[in-house]
């Protein structure tokens, strides 16, 4: 029951954030995407060095 309430609350907050603060929401998404790309590049470098090293 608590998980369902938290899920719907998070979704409502997300909709509110995007609707009323679209610039900040875009910045958050951009930062998250950049972080994910950094992690992906780190894994790629690790495996490249593992195979060629």
The answer to whether 17 and 9 are in contact (CB under 8 A) is no
Does residue 53 register a pLDDT over 90?
Answer: no
| pLDDT score, position 29 | 92
Check whether 47 has a pLDDT greater than 90. yes
Q: Give the pTM.
A: 0.64
In the chain, where are the structural domains located?
22-53
Helix%, strand%, coil% for the chain, nearest 5: 95, 0, 5
Q: What is the pLDDT of residues 25-37, one digit of tens each?
A: 999 999 999 999 9
């Amino acid at each position: 029951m608590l998980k369902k309430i938290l899920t719907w609350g998070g979704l409502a907050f997300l909709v509110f954030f995007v609707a009323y603060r679209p610039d900040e929401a875009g910045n958050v998404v951009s930062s998250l995407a950049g972080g994910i790309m950094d992690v992906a590049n780190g894994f790629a470098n690790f495996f490249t060095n593992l195979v060629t090293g």
